[in-house]
């Protein structure tokens, strides 16, 4: 109550002063009033002047309204060795203030001399809109900016923005992904980074001085992989190719490429259907590479050993389907022979030992039937029969009737090679200790040991001979799958794959190559995977083995050297 009273008394005193100043002011009070009035005016005009100076030197990026919208800052993306894969650069964008435009037609005519692809009708409507601010062209080149400035058009200007730059061009485009015109991630790891909190930081203006995002990718190996795929596509006249190099101990993706790809610095064709990331966003019947899992399943069941035999004397007929071998031996085969001769009949009999339910359960356990969980947003969901019947189990045993992604085929193969641990793949750095914490034991260590033996045997004596690289002890399995065209398998269109591991005494890396519709290298030759997909793997390992830290072993380390004088 005292406060209210004091406030009321003060008002009365002020009123008395006003009345007194109107009629009976003394000289001292008049001077005080003049000085107070002058102080108020000086303060007011000083504040206005200061504000004008501030607005005059303010950088465009600091604006908040729609006319001053700016692109967001993003962290650099670097490879495992610190090499920059993606970074922000400054660029200029052209805007107009339609209220200051006198002749829209003249402006468009002048701008078209520098920007011949400018959309005339849309630009005309923007310039006649009467708005305070409109964008005319985002992300100009320095040359375009200089030429537009030389035109001297009133009512237009430039704002400095950020855009993404990829020093490697298309080398790792499917991994890195893309950003939109506002520098926001829309695909690949760029989109993943936004989803991990970057978008929130950008929204509240805290996305500054961000630490680089380090990947598991080695850009040196990535370049080798893409280069070998490009050579193979040309050599075998294929429509597409892809490959992945996966650390079998940690699940780290060291390299992955899919061709055709695109240049993220100029992604005009990025959304064409033929440029999808086939390694993770496409599902395919992986052909005889799936026999790796069929044999592992049989061995892991405890009902089959390497010494077991299967009758491959005659084809198997079930319903209207007849299962034959490509190069049949017409006799009883041991498990190693089923594997190295890639016997469809033998694989079908291996699956029959386990049974339909056990077959599906194993493929699900090994990760081939569920959507892969990794950082990349572009991951397809595998397909399988709605209801498994015996005919499905038989055809799936040799790689037909079920489709999965090449990447998760490689992930499943890592479990076959590393002692039986299924490790989710990652594009971020991960140690073996961290991998062990999230790994799931899906097969016995003895099964993994047997599979390592079979992989090496197939490279030495079977269909994988062309994947052999001296010193690197490569092992693997071929896969040649006829493609479905108009509901039927076409004998002249194939999707080939080679699934490899090295070094086989203690596999560190999985390398999987795929090639779509390859043609024979020479007239009269076949176009099976051993003749095209396997050499791709061999070339990748030959060029990148040392970079991956694998020491070649030529078997002469303990042999004394003969020195002559």
Residues involved in catalysis: 288
Distance CA 321, CA 12 (A): 108
Cβ-count burial 209-230 (b if 16+ within 10 Å, e if not): eeeebbbbbbbbbbbbbbebbe
Is 121 strand, coil or helix? helix
Measured in residues, the chain has a length of 565
Is 444 strand, coil or helix? coil
Between the alpha carbon of residue 342 and those of residues 184, 190, 193, 287, 310, the distances in Å are: 48, 41, 43, 10, 13
Distance CA 536, CA 534 (A): 5
Distance CA 78, CA 217 (A): 9
In this structure, the number of other CB atoms found within 10 A of the CB of residue 314 comes to 10
Say if residues 123 and 111 touch (Cβ distance below 8 Å): yes
Say if residues 423 and 436 touch (Cβ distance below 8 Å): no
Q: Which of 182, 179, 93 is nearest to 139 (CA)?
A: 93
Say if residues 350 and 295 touch (Cβ distance below 8 Å): yes
Say if residues 515 and 232 touch (Cβ distance below 8 Å): yes
Q: Which residues pair with 213 in a beta bridge?
A: 77
At CA 29, angle to CA 25 and CA 32, rounded to 5?
Answer: 145
Query: How many helical (H) and strand (E) elements, i.e. helices and strands, does the chain have?
Result: 19, 16
On the 0-12 / 13-18 / 19+ scale of CB atoms within 10 A, 514 is buried
HSE, CB side, 13 Å, CA atoms: give it for residue 387. 1
End-to-end CA distance of the chain: 115
Strands 475-485 and 488-502: antiparallel
Largest CA distance in the chain: 130
In this structure, the number of other CB atoms found within 10 A of the CB of residue 45 comes to 10
Q: Which of 152, 122, 151 is nearest to 136 (CA)?
A: 122
């Amino acid at each position: 109550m005292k406060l209210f009273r004091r406030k009321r008394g003060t008002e009365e005193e002020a009123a008395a002063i006003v009345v007194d100043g109107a009629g009976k002011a003394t000289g001292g009070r008049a001077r005080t009033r003049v000085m107070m009035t002058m102080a108020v005016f000086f303060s007011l005009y000083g504040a206005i002047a200061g504000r004008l100076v501030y607005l005059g030197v303010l950088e465009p990026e600091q604006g908040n309204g729609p006319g001053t919208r700016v692109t967001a800052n993003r962290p650099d993306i670097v490879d495992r060795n610190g090499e920059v894969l993606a970074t922000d650069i400054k660029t200029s964008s052209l805007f107009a203030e339609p209220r200051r435009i006198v002749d829209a037609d003249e402006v468009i005519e002048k701008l078209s001399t520098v920007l011949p692809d400018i959309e005339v009708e849309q630009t005309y409507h923007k310039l006649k809109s009467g708005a305070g601010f409109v964008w005319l062209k985002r992300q100009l080149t320095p040359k375009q900016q200089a030429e537009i400035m030389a035109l001297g058009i009133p009512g237009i200007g430039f704002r400095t923005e950020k855009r993404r730059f990829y020093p490697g061009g298309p080398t790792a485009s499917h991994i890195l992904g893309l950003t939109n015109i506002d520098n926001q991630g829309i695909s690949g790891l760029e989109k993943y980074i936004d989803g991990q909190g970057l978008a929130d930081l950008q929204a509240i203006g805290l996305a500054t001085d961000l630490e680089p995002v380090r990947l598991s990718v080695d850009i040196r190996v990535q370049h080798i992989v893409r280069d070998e795929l490009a050579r193979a596509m040309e050599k075998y006249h294929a429509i597409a190719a892809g490959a992945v190099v996966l650390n079998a101990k940690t699940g780290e993706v060291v390299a992955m490429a899919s061709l055709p790809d695109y240049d993220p610095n100029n992604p005009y064709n990025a959304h064409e259907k033929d440029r999808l990331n086939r390694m993770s966003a496409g599902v395919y019947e992986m052909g005889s590479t799936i026999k790796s899992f069929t044999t592992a399943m049989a061995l892991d069941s405890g009902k089959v050993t390497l010494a077991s035999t299967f009758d491959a004397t005659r084809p198997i007929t079930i319903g209207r389907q007849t299962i034959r071998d490509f190069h049949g031996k017409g006799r009883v085969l041991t498990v190693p022979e089923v594997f190295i001769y890639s016997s469809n009949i033998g694989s079908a009999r291996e699956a029959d030992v386990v049974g339909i339910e056990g077959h599906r359960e194993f493929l699900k356990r090994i990760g081939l039937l569920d959507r892969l969980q990794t950082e990349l947003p572009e991951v397809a969901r595998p397909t399988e029969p709605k209801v498994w019947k015996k005919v499905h189990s038989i055809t799936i045993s040799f790689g037909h009737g079920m489709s999965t992604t090449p990447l998760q085929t490689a992930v499943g193969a890592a479990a076959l090679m590393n002692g039986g641990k299924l490790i989710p793949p990652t594009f971020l750095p991960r140690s073996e200790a961290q991998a062990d914490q999230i790994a799931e034991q899906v097969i016995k260590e003895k099964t993994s040991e047997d599979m390592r033996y079979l992989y090496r045997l197939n490279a030495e004596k079977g269909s994988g001979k062309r994947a052999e690289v001296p010193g690197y002890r490569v092992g693997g399995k071929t896969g040649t799958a006829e493609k479905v065209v108009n509901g039927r398998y076409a004998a002249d269109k194939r999707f080939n794959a080679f699934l490899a591991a090295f070094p086989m005494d203690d596999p560190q890396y999985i390398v999987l190559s795929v090639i779509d519709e390859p043609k024979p290298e020479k007239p009269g030759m076949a176009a099976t995977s051993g003749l095209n997909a396997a050499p791709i793997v061999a070339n990748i390992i030959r060029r990148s083995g040392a970079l991956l830290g694998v020491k070649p072993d030529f078997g002469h380390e303990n042999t004394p050297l003969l020195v002559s004088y």
